[in-house]
């Protein structure tokens, strides 16, 4: 009796191992199709055909957002720190869209090397905190406003008090 | 009973809760406490969720997190429970393991659906879209279909024992999807952000938002434990009812009626 | 009151909590209703059989379950 159980157990273990291996191989083979967007460096280095539609993701470069013409069209640069790609978009921007924010845009490159997007999605990071704490962190110079926050969870009341006055539900987070 | 008494010591300890009478007594003794703890955790968590500060970027929409994230955790936790129960059922033929897997499946499907819908309601105002086919969202949708498949297969066979075995194998094969869901945001570019709580180092959530989230997660988990016990009771009582009916039909001299609803636990 | 709590996102936050309630209450209702019905049916069947027979068949069912 015991040996039959052992046999079933080892059969199960082998099966799961084989399955995990097959899944890993399949996923790595299809990696190009699984990634949701490509970064600016990839786009600059690879020779992408002009009419190919793809998603470009990265941070909105500080100071690059401009409204052009009728006011409904906006241009900005998507950067990953090393390279930047100019983007033109006409339409409604999500609430989280702002300079320094992560975005994913969908469209294609034109002859001038501008990425003409018909969709802009905002990507937010994994940091959650009250506005007062974010302000205090920025003020004390421990955080630049993008990228990971050093010890967001430990940012304590002392930081919060430093910005003088508990404004409560500050509404400055929406623009 | 007599076969169990004769079994080796180790087997007996594993099958200690196999006796349905003992399981029912244990469940009845535990359930009131589970429901109370669950109600308490959910009440405290809800107060915390509604009074926690808003997020510096996402504003009040961050309050969706307090139901979305526990639903997502439970969706994966339930599937893991089903996979473990299926392995125990296949290898050790433990009679309660099959029941647990069957009882848990609709619960997991419900919370996966809740996770998908609340995620959609959060994604529209923040990301700017209800849905994208990125690796995280797609793999959670696959999880939902795995639950549906598991429920369908478990009930599809005339021979209940074969249905259970097929469902257990599907549950184990589908388990590869769980680590894919968990690590999709680290392995590939996704629109969904990476983990905030279960990451190496400190959580990236301020403590004023973290405690309501953890309390809600505890409440959801207690709810799952309680509802699972109730549903396992249902499975057991349903089995007993079928056996009684089959026995009474047999006594009246109707052959063939006794063949249904009797799981074969020949060994142990 | 909704606007004070959730600001401009009330239309997204309230449905999220509403659905959560619906899922939990729904699961609870379905499971408890089934439990109640099963208990009633079992009691009826055991009463109908009665006596020595009931004891024996109940023990049989326990053994098999």
Q: pLDDT tens digits for B129-168?
A: 999 998 999 999 999 999 999 999 988 877 777 888 999 9
Among chain C residues, the shortest Cα distance to B35 is held by: C28
Chain C positions in Cβ-Cβ contact with residue B107 (cut-off 8 Å): 27
ipTM of model: 0.83
d(CA B81, CA B214): 20
C11 within domain boundaries: no
Pairwise pLDDT comparison (B4 vs B215), residue with the higher score: B215
Tell me the residue length of chain A: 175
Cβ–Cβ < 8 Å for C64, B241: no
d(CA A156, CA A153): 8
Alpha-carbon dihedral of residues A23, A25, A27, A28, nearest 10 degrees?
A: 160
Distance between C31 CA and the closest CA of chain B, angstroms? 6
Neighbours of C13 (CB within 10 A): 26
> Are the Cβ atoms of C45 and B248 closer than 8 angstroms?
yes
Distance between A173 CA and the closest CA of chain B, angstroms? 5
Cβ–Cβ < 8 Å for B135, B188: yes
C2 within domain boundaries: no
Q: pLDDT tens digits for C16-55?
A: 999 999 999 999 999 999 999 999 999 998 888 765 454 5
Cβ–Cβ < 8 Å for A86, A59: no
Chain B positions in Cβ-Cβ contact with residue A2 (cut-off 8 Å): 8
- Confidence bin at B252 (pLDDT 50/70/90): confident
Q: Is this prediction's pTM over 0.90?
A: no
Number of H helices, E strands in chain B: 9, 0
Q: pLDDT tens digits for B61-89?
A: 999 999 999 999 999 999 999 999 999 99
C47 within domain boundaries: yes
Task: Determine the pLDDT at residue B13.
Answer: 53
Task: Determine the pLDDT at residue B255.
Answer: 54
> Are the Cβ atoms of A31 and B188 closer than 8 angstroms?
yes
Q: Could you give the number of structural domains in chain C?
A: 1
Has residue A28 got a pLDDT over 60?
Answer: yes
C53 within domain boundaries: yes
C6 within domain boundaries: no
Has residue A89 got a pLDDT over 50?
Answer: yes
d(CA B161, CA A164): 68
Has residue B265 got a pLDDT over 60?
Answer: no
| Average pLDDT across chain B, whole number | 86
d(CA C62, CA C65): 5
Task: Determine the pLDDT at residue B178.
Answer: 95
- When CB atoms are compared, the residue of C24, C27, C39 closest to B237 is C39
Task: Determine the pLDDT at residue A144.
Answer: 54
Has residue C62 got a pLDDT over 70?
Answer: no
> Are the Cβ atoms of C31 and B234 closer than 8 angstroms?
yes
In chain B, pLDDT over 70 holds for what percent of residues? 85
d(CA C11, CA C3): 9
Full residue range of the structural domain in which residue C38 is found: 20-64
C7 within domain boundaries: no
Q: pLDDT tens digits for B200-217?
A: 666 788 888 999 999 999
- When CB atoms are compared, the residue of B106, B114, B231 closest to C20 is B114
- Confidence bin at B199 (pLDDT 50/70/90): low
C57 within domain boundaries: yes
Task: Determine the pLDDT at residue A46.
Answer: 84
Task: Determine the pLDDT at residue A2.
Answer: 66
Structure tokens at A139: 């003020």
Q: Whose CA is closest to C12, among A24, B124, A7, B27?
A: B124
A1 CB-side CA count, 13 A: 12
Question: Please, which residues have CB within 8 angstroms of residue C19's CB and are 6 or more apart in sequence?
Answer: B114, B117, B118
Mean pLDDT calculated for residue range B33-58: 94
Mean pLDDT calculated for residue range B24-52: 95
Distance between A110 CA and the closest CA of chain B, angstroms? 24
d(CA B202, CA B223): 28
CB within 8 Å of chain A, chain B residues 197-226: 199, 202-210
Exposed, middle or buried, B190 (CB in 10 Å: 0-12/13-18/19+)?
A: buried
- Confidence bin at C5 (pLDDT 50/70/90): low
Strand partners, A172: none
Task: Determine the pLDDT at residue B216.
Answer: 97
d(CA A85, CA A55): 12
Has residue A43 got a pLDDT over 80?
Answer: yes
d(CA B92, CA B175): 19
Task: Determine the pLDDT at residue A174.
Answer: 30
> Are the Cβ atoms of B205 and A23 closer than 8 angstroms?
no
Q: Which of A138-147, B72-81, C6-15 has the lowest mean pLDDT?
A: A138-147
Task: Determine the pLDDT at residue B157.
Answer: 78
Handedness of CA C9, C14, C17, C23 (dihedral sign): negative
Structure tokens at A16: 């799961």
């Amino acid at each position: 009796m015991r040996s039959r159980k052992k046999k079933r157990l080892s059969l199960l273990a082998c099966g799961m191992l084989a399955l995990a291996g097959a899944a890993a191989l399949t996923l790595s083979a299809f990696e190009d199709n699984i990634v949701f967007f490509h970064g600016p460096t990839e786009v600059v280095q690879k020779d992408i055909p002009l009419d190919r539609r793809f998603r470009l993701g990265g941070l909105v470069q500080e100071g690059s957002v401009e409204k052009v013409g009728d006011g409904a069209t906006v241009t900005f640069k998507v950067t990953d720190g090393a390279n930047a790609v100019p983007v033109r978009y006409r339409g409604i921007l999500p609430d989280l869209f702002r300079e320094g924010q992560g975005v994913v845009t969908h469209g294609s490159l034109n002859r001038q090397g501008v990425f003409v997007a018909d969709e802009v999605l905002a990507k937010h990071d994994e940091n959650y905190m009250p506005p007062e704490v974010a302000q205090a962190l920025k003020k004390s110079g421990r955080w630049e406003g993008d990228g990971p926050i050093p010890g967001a969870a430990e940012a304590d009341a002392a930081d919060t008090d430093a910005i003088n006055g508990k404004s409560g539900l500050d509404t400055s987070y929406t623009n | 009973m007599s076969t169990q008494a004769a079994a080796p010591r180790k087997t007996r300890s594993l099958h200690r809760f196999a006796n349905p009478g003992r399981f029912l007594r244990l469940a009845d003794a535990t359930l009131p406490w589970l429901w109370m703890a669950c109600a308490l955790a959910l009440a405290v968590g809800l107060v915390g969720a509604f009074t926690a500060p808003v997020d510096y970027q996402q504003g009040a929409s961050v309050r969706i997190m307090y139901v979305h994230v526990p639903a997502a955790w439970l969706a994966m936790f339930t599937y893991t429970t089903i996979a473990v129960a299926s392995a125990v059922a296949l290898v050790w033929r433990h009679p309660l393991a099959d029941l647990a897997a069957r009882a848990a499946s609709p619960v997991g499907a419900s919370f996966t659906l809740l996770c998908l819908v609340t995620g959609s309601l959060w994604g529209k105002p923040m990301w700017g879209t209800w849905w994208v086919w990125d690796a995280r969202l797609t793999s959670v949708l696959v999880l939902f279909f795995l639950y549906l498949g598991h429920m369908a297969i478990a009930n599809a066979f005339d021979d209940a024992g074969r249905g259970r075995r097929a469902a257990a194998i599907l549950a184990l094969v589908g388990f590869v999807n769980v680590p894919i869901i968990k690590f999709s945001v680290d392995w590939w570019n996704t629109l969904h952000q990476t983990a905030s709580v279960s990451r190496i180092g400190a959580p990236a959530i301020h403590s004023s938002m973290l405690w309501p989230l953890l309390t809600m997660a505890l409440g959801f988990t207690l709810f799952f434990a309680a509802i699972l016990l109730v549903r396992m009771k249902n499975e057991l009582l349903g089995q007993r009812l079928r056996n009684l009916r089959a026995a009474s039909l047999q006594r009246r001299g109707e052959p063939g009626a006794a063949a249904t609803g009797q799981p074969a636990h020949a060994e142990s | 009151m909704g606007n004070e709590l959730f600001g401009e996102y009330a239309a997204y936050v309230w449905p999220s909590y509403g659905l959560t309630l619906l899922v939990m209450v729904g699961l609870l209702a379905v499971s408890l209703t089934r439990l109640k019905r099963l208990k009633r049916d079992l009691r009826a069947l055991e009463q109908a059989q009665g006596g020595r027979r009931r004891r024996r068949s109940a023990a049989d069912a326990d053994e098999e379950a």
